[in-house]
Amino acid sequence: MQLVNTETIPGWNITEVKGLVSGNTIRAKHLGRDIGAAFKNMAGGELKAYTELLAESRAEATSRMVAEAQALGASAIVNVRFTTSTVAGGAAEMYAYGTAVVAVPAP
């Protein structure tokens, strides 16, 4: 499954549009991560625990989006985008979406 954030895939022709596909996950903060982040926030620098949480969330949302595209018979997803939003205190959603297509190598 090819994933691109562009409308086309260089060297490939899109022969069919299957439709919009998406995947999401909602993750809550962990108390241990919050305590570490509070200390790091005072000193400055990267909040590595949250960086890891965000990367895990992005991977899960992407995996769910790909599964939806595969179920439609797509071979690629174009215009892939990610967004986040706060769902509740201490919980955030990672949402991935794009257009599932059938793409074949250009002659």
Best-predicted range by mean pLDDT among 6-20, 43-57, 79-93? 6-20
Supply the CATH number for residue 50's domain: 3.30.110.70
Residue span of the structural domain in which 58 resides: 2-105
Q: How far apart are CA 57 and CA 86, in angstroms?
A: 13
Q: Percent of the chain at pLDDT above 70?
A: 84
Name the strand (E) or helix (H) holding 81: strand 76-88
Mean pLDDT across the chain, nearest whole number? 88
Domain count, the chain: 1
**How is residue 106 annotated by DSSP?**
-
**Encoded tokens for 45:** 């620098």
The reported pLDDT for the residue numbered 86 is 86
Q: How far apart are CA 105 and CA 69, in angstroms?
A: 19
pLDDT band at 46; cut points 50, 70, 90: confident
